[in-house]
Structure 1
Amino acid sequence: MFEADVYSNDFFESAGFLRKQCPSGAWFWTLDPERVYSGDQEGVEYTFIGRQVFDGQYTLAQLRERALRWYEAQGHARMGSYPVLASLWRDDLLFNSASICDFQPHVIERQLEPPANPLVVAQKCVRLNDLENVGRSGRHLSSFTMLGHHAFNFEGEPEIYWISRTVELCHRFFTEELGADPKGITYVESAWAGGGNAGPCVEVMYEGIEIATLVFMSLAEDPDGEHDIKGVRYTAMPTRVVDTGYGLERVVWASQGTPNIYAAVSPGFLEKLVERTGFAIQGGIIDDYFRKMSSQDIETPLQYEKVQRQIAAELGVTPKELARAVRPAETLFTLCDFTRTLLLMLNDHVLPSNKDAGYLVRQLAKRIMVMLEEEQIDITPMELLGMQFDAMASDFPELEGKRETAQDIIAAELERHETTMERGRNQLIKEIKKLKKKKRTVFPNDKIFYFYDTLGLPLHYTREVIEEESDLELELTDEAWREFFNKSMALDAKKEARSWPEGQAATDRLYYEDPYATTGDAKVLSVHGDWVVLDQTIFYPEGGGQPYDTGALHIDGSELEVVEVQYHNGTIFHRLAEAPGDDLRGEQVSLSVDWSRRYGLMRAHSATHLLNATLREVLGFHVRQMGAQKGVESSRFDIAHYRTITPGQIQEIEGRINEVIFSGAPITTEVMQRGSAESRYGFFIYQGGFVPFDQLRIVTLGEGGMDEAIDIEACAGTHLRDIREAALFKLLEVKQIQNNVYRLRYSVGDEALSFFQQSEQLLNKVVRAVGSSRDDALQKVTNLMEETKEQSKLLSGYEESLIQLQANASRDAAESKPTLYFFKSPVPKDRAMRHIIRMARTGKNQAFFVIFEDGALFIRSKDLKAIDFKASSEQFGAFELLKASPDMVILGGRPEAGAAWDVGRRLMGRA
């Protein structure tokens, strides 16, 4: 915690605020001399419920606009909300959880300038760390709108504003603009940390609820720092940032005074749900319960159950009676919140998958489906999403036109869910039986989390099945739950970056001035082994999915081959085939680029932009680039998409692309300031990934603005002047590489033409081979395939009969079980395997020990576990004997046969 003088400021002093200490220990500032409590202590019920504490009742859209306009009047520039998918510009965060995330780390560390200073933004946020409390507490949300007004005070520059002005703006907004009682507001001293930064903060409390947090970010994470906050060391940073967060949904709730936040945020949606289900969500014990529950701080499902028991005692009912009364309301509240969050995710192109952000979308969708099934609600997930879509339309106009696609995404997910839930229950029951057989008394935590995390079985559902099927105990602790959740939210470890020499001069990038230039001149500034740095270059470095250029440096008649080019902090490094030596430093050199490679990559890159735009047209708005690699011979493009891409769609995509190529469309490049580009074109100009520069190269395919152009992206690659130069486009392959991720491989220009020529040659070979005309070739091949299939069936039946005869002749005459068949197969192993497995599967208490030319196979009908042996194994010397005497009957009583027979009996455990 920080010293008292950190929080003291001119506004508090001039306005007459008093600093007091709450019995709970917290220090706070207030205008009420009679106030004893800070308002932040746990368990104190909210006092705004059923009362009017502002000058009016607001919807989210009304409050958001009112707040943005007010801060604009105070000198702040209004910014649009960034996407909820923070991994578009951050590698340490999946979803945007606060308005400051928009500017971490690039602006905070001044790698980039802020888009305005000061600024205000109403940021859509997603936080999934309290999912178990959503719907149950009456106040938790998995998505919300955070109003943030931010000021960036850079070292050596005039201060924008700091603590005093921040608190003044906050107090004036709530009292002057919204009509809050000045004496009802308290400012509780605290500390904040997140995203590698920290600082003192004050939590703004009003009528028992925290409506804002004012953070004064001034520290950066440092293991040797002098400040300790929540066990992490920090040190002072040169930039001081005003980081405020106003929970707009909470303010909406307080303005309406409803018993729970969901009734305030989504009244229309809840009314429709109540009408369709007949569930009670208010009145009597339900209102009393949520009034008490909403002020509790609950971190795990186990704590929730404990608190619910306490409230049941206070209300004079049993825990079961209370749970039965409030569960319908909890269900509808949860559905209200989860569908809202799901739509915000889908709107920002996040599809269900098994990894990262998509994994969390899938978990949310699963929970919705399970709830509908468990509570026997006769509404499909698609219909539910449509109801929420209608309810959100006025608050989130950006959803317009996306309803049908969003519903179809969930329809595809429902098909998957129905399969996985059945499989999950079956696996759970199988696991229970296995534990009972081992005489275990406890169902392990790791298994609980497996069924929850991987198969999507809710915790309470898993518990119910375990109780129904066994007397196994659960030992799930709060600590185990926290550890699991932290692991499930963790991102993949970052790959270690290549180390580069620092302090190098920036390289002038001539390839942007003229991407068609094949030669140039430069001066060698430095040499680092086989890498050289030039003052300017025509060589494009690897980046944005475009491979580097190759070519040569020329000096005094000698040619130095350039085999790799890389970019780091404004400097371009050129790797030569051989280390040139330090005497090259300071020399003038001529440059020549491999034009065939460069032009092929330019064609591929420009065609990729066209492909991206076409995929959104044909498949839907949700398509998001997941990766790309351009190449001369072929390129690949990975996209997020939720259904199989059909042959008809492939044909349409290819046709539309070639239509544009044949018609032609100009490709232009404009350098824009980041803030202007984002404001004009939106955040999804970063289709190929975030570009961490203040000045962006905006590449436009086609003519006109945002609505008329074919594609507009921030891109650092080299491009054609007109897409007509791509000449030809051919999709070579489309395949699914992950769940809901598809890879498209394609060729452009000469390589696409080469593919068509090779296909033509192959077709001619087929025509000659089958002895028909082109028109009849397909039918001829089809007929041959049918004939081959029939012959294969006959051959397979004949082989199965041979194996059966050989097996029957070798059957163990002993009455002991299981019955053993020990014989040499008359059919090669690769074809005999499926016949032998079928025999083992259909028989009971049987085993087969079968000799082949290259080994042996042992398989039991009990478990169908196969053991594969090599003929060279010493313990099975009898194999050679059987090869030498293929007609030998095992049961003939010969000594050699007896030796082989002993092998089989030992395997059966009957020696």
Structure 2
Amino acid sequence: MQWTGLNELREKYLSFFESKGHLRLPSFPLIPKDDNSLLLINSGMAPMKKYFTGEVTPPRKRVTTCQKCIRTPDIERVGITARHGTYFEMLGNFSFGDYFKREVTAWAWEFITKVLEMPEDKLWVTIYQDDDEAFDIWTKEVGVDPTKIVRLGKEDNFWEHGSGPCGPCSEIHFDRGPEYGCGKPDCKPGCDCDRYMEFWNLVFTQFDNDGHNNYTPLAHPNIDTGMGLERLACVMQGVDNLFLVDTVQNIMKRISRIAGIAYGESEKTDISLRVITDHIRSTTFMISDGVMPSNEGRGYVLRRLLRRAARHGRLLGINHPFLSEVVDTVIAENEVAYPELREKSAMIKKVISFEEESFYKTIDKGFALLNNIIDRTDTKILSGEDAFKLSDTFGFPIDLTKEILSEKGMEVDEDKFRALVLKQRETTRARRKNAGADAWAGDSDVLEGLAKTEFVGYTKLTETAKITAIVKDGARVESAETGDDIVLTLDRTPFYAESGGQVGDTGVVKTDSCTIRVLDTTKNASGVYIHKAVVEEGFVREGDEAQASVDAARRQAIMRNHTAAHLLQAALRRVLGDHVEQAGQLVNEHTVRFDFTHFSALTDEELLAVEQLVNEKILENIAVECREMPIEEAKKLGAMALFGEKYGNVVRVVSAGDFSKEFCGGTHIDFTAKLGLFKIVSESSVAAGVRRIEGVTGMNLLEMIYTTNHLLKDTTMAMKVSNPTDLPAKAAQLFTEMKEKDREIESMRSKIAALNIGSILENSVEVKGVKVVTAMMSGTGSDALRTMCDKIRETNGDMAVVAVLAGILDGKATLAATATKAAQKKGVKAGALVKAVAQITGGNGGGKPDFAMAGIKDQTKIDEALAAAASILNEQI
């Protein structure tokens, strides 16, 4: 094959399919027309979706185009690698109910082997694994060597976008040679190495998917093909990546001349050269098609690309606006196919110059501040406060801050940054006169009229969806941008909404222009799923097409715990009896909390039996089946329903073999062995007749084991034993020693207290011939009080003496009262006296006539109680 320039390849392709009866259409503008699902056109078929759906009649049943495309989800990777780019052109030939597999495969092979003269021994074809028709056509009719056909699964060779038209596809690969391979003897298309480059995808749209994986053949199947022009040029020019393709390389050379730096001198400067080259291509075409810089939507995408390119110019040492100079080269390399670039060159350059100059003026202070912070910091984390100041005061975008930091091996405290942004917005919200800003969370009609959300999360953790509403500060808005805290609704979602004791999912929603972090998911009474979220980066509009992705690791942990709750209930019923019913539950990624009806605390033996039974079922690796069925059928199967819950005619039943069958709308793992193991962490009372068990599974159990082992190690060191198995004996020994010391201390306190008796008796008062003594003593416990009372009776046997003593030790306050025999003969009863005195403090007690004790509840009233002892005694005798 001969080296062929990119512009020539484009013309060869379009001319070839014109010869096959196709209508050549010019590229559609990058701004989608009558399609709110996209910010920018991102594929060859995107602007022709309505032709495929039948909403609009195509100008001809056979069409061929070279479509301008912009894709920005991987913008941070552009420049870092030589693979990623934001702008590309997509060659395509389309059939709207006309020709099908035979024609498209034959023409594809003819074009690459006859027109482009690619060597057949370098070409490979992949097909969908079940598409025998395609295999026969490729081998028997087109004449491809059967050994060069590779069957791949649905992920690689079946195109579908949720429900609607879909079908198998066939990809053509070019063998770049063993030097690009992994060296494995079975290396072939489908391998992760770089040897086989896929450059053309032929989609055979022949089915209609109803959204439940039921495929109905289309009466009029369609053809949709896509071949990246730059990727084809890489093959035909024998280069490794798009930045070495002739037209792209010429743009880079212009930038290199301005910077005085050649490509290939260093990886650092190569990154900047690639960034500027890609971004100036994208922005030139975007402005030509009517996109203007702004802080929202596609305008935000344009502004971000221009700012990123300008900053990398600075990194190359270009200290003046230069991007408009490069526009001339972009136009020169592309005007043969896109003459409108030349017509609009003045406007394109003016917009870019103004934006670049404006960026330099407003961003210099931010750059200086950020560099200063970086220079004086001794950590790898930029504080959220500094990032917020850069953003709020200097308009320095958080995404730019993150990119600059990443180049220096640093990160930003995004959690703190988001917290400060949220605090600022809450402050602003509080100043508003309308106090109902968060009404959407309650009974507000802000989401009224939205269709019920289709939940696909039982089988999918990622789904393409349309954004149906955005709520910000309690009101519906058309758009949101970086830092906004929003509520998002989608027409379909894989995010589970909190219900049935299972927490809501978290994860990410991405569009071509933004990344949104979903923090929680709930749903309203109308079945609309409410995604509480924050826009981490970019700009989102209502109507955008988005990729909704659940945090898979978190969901898996939740599902393990939810399935564990089912196994736990079944085990409890077998160990404790059929009276056990679920009284509530909470399953999240950390733990399973299960409330159940039972009327006494579980013994250690019962807990062990339950735990062992659950783990037995885990190790049996029982399949967990989820099925919808009529409620009567479910009851016949013995499925357990939540007590007091109302169900419809059709219910969802989750079964783990014959061991557990329950009505449940939650998500579960498919085999019990995936729980790993189950461990009961605690058992407690919730209410009368309701107990609670908390347990862990999977990685949470491992974490608990690690924590316990660490605790044992620390305890072993602290108690100076060599082996954890010696801890019980050592603890018992220390406990015995401490008790003995406590007895010795108490004995000493009693002796000291006895020595104070003389001074106590000196402060007595007389009531009806009885001496009454009261005293308050800190550091004196009940044993010492008893000793003192005994001593008072022994030393004053012939006298009528009554003592009421209060003592406090280790925060506990006690009253003691004693009466000698002579006092008792006068009618004194120590038990009645101490009880009456204690009641003044809110306490109570009693005892014998000669000695009694009581507890004190309110220690602040001790003095008052002791002062009242004489009057109380006066009333009692």
Output the TM-score relative to the length of structure 1: 0.37
Specify which structure has the bigger relative contact order, considering alpha-carbon pairs within 8 angstroms and separated by 6 or more residues: 1
Q: Whose radius of gyration is greater, 1 or 2? A: 2
